[in-house]
């Protein structure tokens, strides 16, 4: 799967075809995707911390370049940030809960788990909690992707 246009280009096994068929909805992309040069994601794998490149990102989700594969609907807490470090002494980052929606030969597609309407007033987001769409938009503006 190419991160630029998400066209299927690889030879897929019967198991992969079956999983794609079982978990296929209509095209889930509901927002413009941005190539995200310089963004990385961190998540706990039980070992030493490692950054994974973010291929594309939008206000609804992102594509993570990784060899890891999870079953659709698996939720992970991740921190997404600029790889090249600080802007004005602070590294722009956001902690999110993300849910697997698809995967391909080069990575995994996630959607953001978004907080409910009553949570959108809060500006502080604790680790492990869903974030608001507004918080994601602010982060994308900070890293100059919107």
The domain made up of 14-142 has a fold known as: Thrombin, subunit H (2.40.10)
Report the C-alpha gap between 98 and 13 in whole angstroms.
26
Smallest Cα–Cα separation from 63: which of 86, 29, 114? 29
State in Å, rounded, how far the first CA of the chain is from the last one.
24
| pTM score | 0.68
Domain locations along the chain: 14-142
pLDDT-derived band at 98 (thresholds 50, 70, 90) equals very high
Q: Which of 12-16, 22-26, 107-111 has the highest mean pLDDT?
A: 107-111
- Output the six-digit token pair for 95: 């902690």
Q: What is the largest CA-CA distance in the chain?
A: 50
pLDDT-derived band at 144 (thresholds 50, 70, 90) equals confident
Residue 96: the pLDDT is 93
Which residues does residue 87 pair with via DSSP β-bridges, in sequence order? 90
């Amino acid at each position: 799967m190419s991160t630029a246009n998400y066209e299927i280009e690889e030879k897929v096994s019967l198991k992969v075809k079956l999983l794609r068929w079982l978990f296929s909805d209509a095209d889930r992309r509901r927002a413009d995707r941005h190539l995200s040069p310089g963004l990385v994601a961190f998540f706990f794998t039980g070992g030493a911390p490692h950054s994974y490149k973010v291929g594309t990102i939008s206000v609804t989700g992102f594509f993570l370049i990784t060899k890891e594969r999870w079953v659709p609907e698996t939720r992970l807490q991740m921190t997404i940030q600029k790889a090249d470090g600080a802007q004005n002494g602070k590294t722009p980052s956001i902690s999110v809960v993300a849910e697997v929606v698809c995967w391909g030969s080069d990575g995994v597609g996630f959607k953001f788990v978004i907080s409910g309407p009553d949570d959108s007033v809060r500006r502080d987001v604790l680790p492990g909690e869903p974030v608001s769409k507004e918080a994601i938009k602010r982060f994308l503006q900070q890293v100059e992707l919107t």
